[in-house]
Structure 1
Amino acid sequence: SVFEIPAEKILVNIVMSSSHINENYLESLTQEMDVIKTSVCLLACCEATNELQKEKIKALAKSKGKYIFIINSVAINGILDEYYKIGEQHFSMLRDKFKELN
């Protein structure tokens, strides 16, 4: 599970430009999530902010139970730094994002 969301698998997608992250793209992600039977998607985008499509992402979490976490290079570096410093990851950034979706 991921933050108590049942998920044996996590869909991971990587896009280079935030211009790809629109409502249609998010809908296609939820369809891909359905195919692999997961509720969690980690979307990495070098230049993305967590504000991209924020309302649509919240709506998907509430209506479909699909949680899409958008992380940028700063967040990825933070996760790696946390791991290097303490030898494990608590994913505080992702936990904060999860709280925003609920």
Structure 2
Amino acid sequence: MTQRIQVEVTRTGGFGGLMTSRSADTDALPPEDARRLAELVDGLDLEALRIPPGRTRPVPDAFQYDISISRAGEHVRLRLHDPDVPAELRPLIQFVLQRT
């Protein structure tokens, strides 16, 4: 892997209105985790994700996700709400939020 990838995820809302913020950086992860992060990001169409999905009706106590993805000089910031988070983005969110 030659390019550095950095991902930050902040999840807010939910029943208690709690905030969880985590990040993952290929330069700081063990090799296996760095490869997994790269696979998850490389599998995304970042350009398509820049166009927010149409919101469904508001869901009480739903999570909001603020996501920042940096890769090879490309930087994408997203703000998405459950249940409108695209399915292809959910594994990346889960991977990053599981980081300590």
Same fold, TM exceeding 0.5?
no
Whose helix fraction is larger, Structure 1's or Structure 2's?
1
Higher RCO (CA-CA < 8 Å; seq separation 6+): 2
Whose strand fraction is larger, Structure 1's or Structure 2's?
2
